[in-house]
Amino acid sequence: MYYSREYQQEDTIITINGERIGDGNPHFIMGPCAVESYDQTSIVAEKMAQQGVRLLRGGAFKPRTSPYDFQGLGVEGLQILSRVAREQGMAVITEILSVDQLDEALPYVDVVQIGSRNMHHFPLLKALGKTNKPILLKRGLSATIEEFKLAAEYILAEGNKNVILCERGIRTYETATRNTLDISAVPILKQETHLPVIVDVTHSAGRKDILTAMAKAALAVGADGVMAEVHPNPAKALSDSKQQMNLYEFDCFMDAIRKVIR
Ligand code: PEP
Ligand code: MN
């Protein structure tokens, strides 16, 4: 398998906007759940820039559980993201949901996110495998580690070797969190693959009071970085309003993490 340590012993390092993901240092991917407006996105990005975070996430095509919920701004959202990223010197990480969105979306995107619900979307994985864009592949809601690795293999086998794995919690019987962060997946993936591993604390927790602790745990077990969501006014957010940090909480989060990684 292309993902395996047998195929490649040394860690894959993927350089995005000067950040070398997989180099042993922690990297941070932050931003709103969804792009809602230029102001909303740029307020978050400005705060991120103050904290030295240079990888901007934000959804323009949103895979919502209900078809009646906000579905994202589409291409207009991508335009906002890329404008804000340019202004703040950041790279854009955003989800693409289907093969037919690729042509219009790719020019705006530095890293393509494949969301949890699409981890098994093999035609999308194959199509992205034919590009040279870095891919952030999220673990499926109910995918085993083996299935997760094989989803990555779909991309690698087509020739795109720039795959970042993202553990984002799995579905269990536990209801105290939205998903259960499978912390053991991190060292297992680091052992069995050479790919960088990021932990998304926001979508695993589904609540924001434990994000700092989860991020510390992720880095302690060897994650190459952390993803989390930030919104200027989470209570008014059009998606994931319960779990996005506000700007003050984001500052506290980054300050607390920096203390343990120094
Ligand atoms: C997201 O990161 O915007 C998202 C929808 O996450 P997931 O696919 O992990 O649910
Ligand atoms: Mn979200």
pLDDT above 90 (res 262): no
Ligand 1 centroid vs 115 CA: distance in angstroms? 5
* Residue 250 structure tokens: 């984001």
Instruction: List the one residue out of 105, 128, 110 whose CA is nearest residue 118.
Output: 128
CA of 14 to the centre of ligand 2 (A): 24
Q: Name the band, by pLDDT with cuts 50, 70 and 90, for residue 69.
A: very high
**How do the domains of the chain map onto residue ranges?**
14-261
For ligand 1, residues with CB inside 6 Å are: 33, 59, 63, 95, 115-117, 138, 168, 200, 203
Give the pLDDT score at 190.
98
Q: For residues 240 and 147, give the distance between their C-alpha atoms in angstroms, rounded to a whole number.
A: 27
Contact 226, 261 (CB under 8 A): no
Complex ipTM value: 0.99
Pocket test of ligand 1: the residue of 116, 141, 170, 243 to mutate, having most ligand atoms within 8 Å of its CB, is: 116
Distances (CA, A) of 159 to 74, 80, 131, 155: 28, 30, 8, 7
**Which ligand lies nearest to the CA atom of residue 229 in the structure?**
2
pLDDT tens track for 76-86: 999 999 999 99
What is the position in ligand 1's atom list of the atom closest to the CA of 95? 3
In this structure, the residue with its CA closest to atom 9 of ligand 1 is: 116
The closest-lying atom of ligand 1 relative to the alpha carbon of residue 138 is 9
189: number of Cβ within 10 Å: 24
Q: What is the pTM assigned to this prediction?
A: 0.98
Band the pLDDT of 197: cuts 50, 70, 90: very high
What's the rounded mean pLDDT across residues 215-236?
98
CA dist list (Å): 68 to 62, 166, 213: 12, 27, 34
CATH number of 14-261: 3.20.20.70
**Interval between CA 70 and ligand 1 midpoint (Å):** 14
pLDDT digits (tens, 9 = 90+) for 116-170: 999 999 999 999 999 999 999 999 999 999 999 999 999 999 999 999 999 999 9
Given the CA of residue 166, which atom of ligand 1 is nearest to it? Answer: 9
Is the Cβ–Cβ distance between 149 and 143 less than 8 Å? no
* The pLDDT value given to residue 95: 98
Q: Which atom of ligand 1 is nearest to the CA of 62?
A: 5
